[in-house]
Structure 1
Amino acid sequence: MAITKEFMKNSLKDKSVTWTEFLKNVKHTNSIHCFFEGEDAKYYLDRVEDYTSYPLSDITVYSCDGKRNLLKLYKKISSYEKYNALSKAFFVDKDYGLETIEVDDNVYITPYYSIENFYVHKSSFKRLIIKEFGIHTFDDDFKKVTEDFSSQYKEFLNIISPLNAFIYSFLKVGEEIMIDKFRLGDFIDIKVDNVTKLKDTGFDSLKAYYKEKLERDITRRRPHAETNLNKFNAVIDEVEIDFFNNLQKVIDNKETLTHGKMAMFFLIKFIEDLKLVNKKSNYFSRKRQGVYIDIQSNNILSNLSQYALTTDCLILFLKKYQHVAKEEIMI
């Protein structure tokens, strides 16, 4: 996202709830003010507490309802010199890395698509297996399940790379795409010992799949359905021209350019099947008792946060706040 003078002018006029909330809280000069795109606080909060000088009671949280709103708020706050001494941190997902974001060292940008990717890291899965399934690292079962996890995730990334490239290509030509139209369960089946491709993921197949969903919206008289289809038809040829170059880029950077929700889909399905085969006693050397992990919870970011990867760059970012001078701010 290019930060223009017009962008700044509009952002300074903003009367958002988050801005109003911030103005009420600036008097708390001994707090660190943390701004998140949405539910990301469920991942970040424990880490902010662990690696900064601030206890949880001194961490003020703001949910900005999306990346664009967060960056607008960041620019707005940064434009006021009187807030310079205030301890503040902004947390942004990298996404596909197509946006131009000019920020200072108060902004952390994930090295992966989003924080969901941190949950599917091999080291995260190992911690989950040890605590939730009670499997020691020296057990043969530990080696078996971690190797299967890595193998199936690698195959999963190979299969869905064209879908990531398809989405990436739309965004690159400046057109939004409704990602929720793609049901991953239509394309892939995930088991602990095998990942099966159910539907072709070539460009023509993805094009036909998405177009059919848009046309179905028209039949069902969904809001903006005809507009969405017209936008699709207007750019699809341009999307196709650059698709294969974008596909190669995704293939070369699978783990960092895989959509976070896709990565989380794999984790959920893998653990679902792992619980099932454990219950049936036909995977591990013995049935593992006391496995109660709720992988379908709507609060999965909180439930599994303790296992998610904490990157070195995030630790370095947060440690900067250990020695921030907490000066009084003249409001």
Structure 2
Amino acid sequence: MDIQKVKDARNKGVVAFSRYCQEKKKYQDYLFCFFEGEDVKYYSPRIEKYSGYEYNKIIHYNCGGKKGVLKALNLVEKNRDEIFVAKAFFIDSDYDTTKYNNDLLYQTPCYSIENFYTSKEAFSKMLNREFGINTTEKDFLKCCSDYSKRQQEFHDKTIYINSWLACQRLQEETVESLRIVLSGFKISKLFLELSIDSIICKEEINREKLKELFPDSINIEESDIEEKMNYFKSGNMGQWFRGKFEVEFLKKIIDSLKMKNKTGGYFSQKYTSVHIDPNVNILSTMQDYADTPQSLIDFLKQYQVA
């Protein structure tokens, strides 16, 4: 629990707004963007492509989190510009089902931008370009099929923790002094193996295990967790589950593919020049392969300069 982090995020939003007030007077023909954190690595090339603003005409601010972005947005709207200045705000949906209706605000249709990196389409692009495997080859079809199977197995094994966390976050909104911190938690610590041909848990991920991992968590009714699990099962778990868990899964899969390419036995041949390292800033490393939803394209096109 660290309510101080929530306060710090809001404070970063205030700082971003203050900087914006100072800089908008000097750079009136720029686009001002407000992000949760390092999301600029995903959004920046897409802003350039669809808005028409060049990178040197974009000023961006790290607001420290969703609450920081929303705080900055609130301050901007309370203090109307005397002269119009283009501005855009970007947030993740997280487990929150609230949909914000604001033309200046883009909200991901999935949990977070990380989920854009882990779709089957994004994976297949990475496989094609980083491993140099043509889409017509048997290795490509086999690998994409295995990825889909392992991802489904991963989702089946992590649906309980995702549902439990979604219920936690909902309860935390009513008791703000309580908030479990996930920033240092790795989902891989709960698995013996996460690879292209095997997904094995160390033990069942259940209420007792989660209470052990997060002793300060709020007690959630099992019926509420089951209801959330049914909700997740009705849709696309790859989009709705925690993005950092999904990305951690992707990293492990890529690492296992690199190892199998080196040792043999999985691919029909050894592929040369495979240098991708998913463990070095994946938001930058794989941004070319990440999905770009139509909702984001439409949002950015409203900023197109004549």
TM-score clears 0.5: yes
Matches within 5 A, 1:147-296: 147-174=145-172, 175-180=178-183, 182-188=185-191, 189-211=193-215, 229=216, 232=217, 235-236=218-219, 238-253=220-235, 254-296=237-279
Matches within 5 A, 1:23-62: 23-27=21-25, 28-62=27-61
Structure 1 window deviating more from structure 2 (175-184 vs 254-263): it is 175-184
Tell me if 1:119 matches 2:117: yes
What SS class does the counterpart of residue 81 from structure 1 fall into? coil
CA shift at 1:179, angstroms? 2.3
Once residues 15 and 143 of structure 1 are traced to their aligned partners in structure 2, the CA distance between those partners, rounded to angstroms, is 46
CA contact (8 A) 2:96 2:170 kept: no
Task: Report how many aligned residue pairs link the two structures.
Answer: 289
User: Which residue is 2:103 aligned to?
Assistant: 105
User: Which residue is 1:309 aligned to?
Assistant: 291
TM-score, normalised relative to structure 1: 0.82
User: Which residue is 1:74 aligned to?
Assistant: 73
CA shift at 1:84, angstroms? 7.0
CA shift at 1:43, angstroms? 0.2
CA contact (8 A) 2:36 2:63 kept: yes
CA shift at 1:256, angstroms? 2.5
C-alpha spacing 1:209/1:102, structure 2 compared with 1 (3 Å): closer
Amino acid at match of 2:85: L
Amino acid at match of 2:67: R
Q: Bigger radius of gyration, 1 or 2?
A: 1
CA shift at 1:187, angstroms? 2.1
Aligned-pair identity (%):
33
What SS class does the counterpart of residue 265 from structure 2 fall into? coil
CA shift at 1:239, angstroms? 4.1
- Structure 1 residue ranges (4+ consecutive) displaced by more than 6 angstroms after TM superposition: none
RMSD across aligned positions (CA): 2.0
Once residues 291 and 190 of structure 1 are traced to their aligned partners in structure 2, the CA distance between those partners, rounded to angstroms, is 20
What SS class does the counterpart of residue 277 from structure 2 fall into? coil
C-alpha spacing 1:158/1:304, structure 2 compared with 1 (3 Å): same
Question: Which has more helix, going by share of residues?
Answer: 1
CA shift at 1:55, angstroms? 1.1
Query: What runs of 5+ residues in structure 1 fail to find an aligned partner?
Result: 1-10, 212-228, 325-331
C-alpha spacing 1:164/1:15, structure 2 compared with 1 (3 Å): closer
Once residues 247 and 31 of structure 1 are traced to their aligned partners in structure 2, the CA distance between those partners, rounded to angstroms, is 44
